[in-house]
Structures are given as C-alpha cells and as structure tokens.
Amino acid sequence: MNLKYRGKTKDVYELENGHYLLKFKDDVTGEDGVFDPGANTVGLQIAGAGRAGLKLTKHFFEVLQEQEIPTHYVDARLDEAEMIVKPAVVFGDGLEVICRYKATGSFMKRYGKYAVEGQDLGGFVEVTLKDDERQDPPISADALDVLGILSLTEYAQLKALTKQIGDVVKEELLNREIELYDIKLEFGKTETGEIMLIDEISGGNMRAYKDGVYIEPLELERLMNEA
C-alpha cells in the first residue's frame, strides 16, 4: 500500500483494490499543548486518541449506512486504528459544511451583532472553504456556483444531506442526554458523481454540551463509546 497523503490527524494510503486506508493517529490539533479541534496545527499527542475517534466514526457511519445515507465508509479495524473507504473527489480543495443547532464559535464571531450565544439555529447549514491562509472564509451557494466549485443543484443536495446527517448525530447524542450545538462535515463525489459524506465523525467534528457545560472532544468520545 502507498502513502498518498500525510494529514494532521490521519494518514491516507492507497490500496491495491482501489479503496483507501485511513490511519487514525494519536496526534490531535491544537496550539501550545492545548487541544483545539478547530486549530490548523498539531498541538499534542494523546495515547488512544486515534482509536477513540475511529470507534465513534465507525459507529456513526454504520448508523448512516443503515439509513442508506451515502458515505465513503467500507469497513473499520479498531485495533489497527484503520478505516477503509471508497475513493472520493473533493469539491475544489475541500469544503467544510457546518450544521448549526445552537449559535457558538465562528458563527458568533461573525454574526454576534444579531445572535446570542446558545441561540437556537434549527440545523442551519453553512459552508466554508478550507483555506488556512484566508482563515477558512464562509461562502454562499451562489459564490460556490460562480467559482465552479459546486453547482446550485449539488449545493441543494449537500445541504439536505448535511441536515439529515446532523439530525442523526443529534439524535444519537440526545440518547445520552448530550446536546449537539454544531457539527462540521466533509463531502466528496464518487467517480459517478454521487455526493457522499467523507472523512470522519468524531469528537473533534462537533461541539456538544451536557447540562449546559461544554464537553471536550475526548470526553465526548469516551461518553459516546461506552457500551
């Protein structure tokens, strides 16, 4: 198997049968030794972090599979911290698609003049470009269209899928009395042009609260991964 890409928290290998292998690492993003899922740099290593993230990802992708929501998921080997996935073509150099149930984070930074922290947003969907240099700018459906990154039809599909997946995760968390504030997803296309969820769904992808208190990603994975 060939190493295709060395990522911040995962390495990507190409397999001989055309699938890809994602190797989850114990590196977590952050700055100055403090874990921050939104950071663009690796801040520290936490033993078992890769496997915990994969375990939760496996769970969510299998729930989505049952509901026939298209994803790149094929299989996962927890002991090896490896996930097997289908090949995907990303949109442009990658988009982040965010489903927001409660106002927090970058939404407040941008729209704090009109919103209060924790305000209900009803699963509102927004897209940002993956562009570290330009601080991941938000982008509208029309701008994605004019730049040839995503057609308006694809945007509508992406938005509907995001809301559907967000609602599944929200429901799963609610079963453990945890409240989902927002979740960040990535999408790609199959070779035949079908839009599917890619990457992972772990603690670092979402902000969750219990009894009004924010739950750190690793603690969230611990709570969700409990039998």
Distance CA(11)–CA(27), nearest Å, equals 11
Q: Least Å distance between CB 165 and a copy of itself?
A: 17
Contact between 110 and a copy of itself per CB under 8 A: yes
Inter-residue contact 27 to 9 (CB < 8 Å) = yes
Q: Least Å distance between CB 203 and a copy of itself?
A: 26
| 3-state class (DSSP) for residue 31 | strand
Alpha carbons within 13 A on the beta-carbon side of 133: 1
Query: Left (φ > 0), alpha (ψ -120 to 50) or beta: where does 216 sit?
Result: beta
Q: By CB under 8 A, what part of segment 6-25 binds a copy of itself?
A: none
The correct pick among 43, 87, 92, 118 for binding a copy of itself (CB under 8 A) is 92
Contact between 129 and a copy of itself per CB under 8 A: yes
Contact between 149 and a copy of itself per CB under 8 A: yes
Contact between 143 and a copy of itself per CB under 8 A: yes
Q: Least Å distance between CB 67 and a copy of itself?
A: 24
| 3-state class (DSSP) for residue 78 | coil
Contact between 34 and a copy of itself per CB under 8 A: no
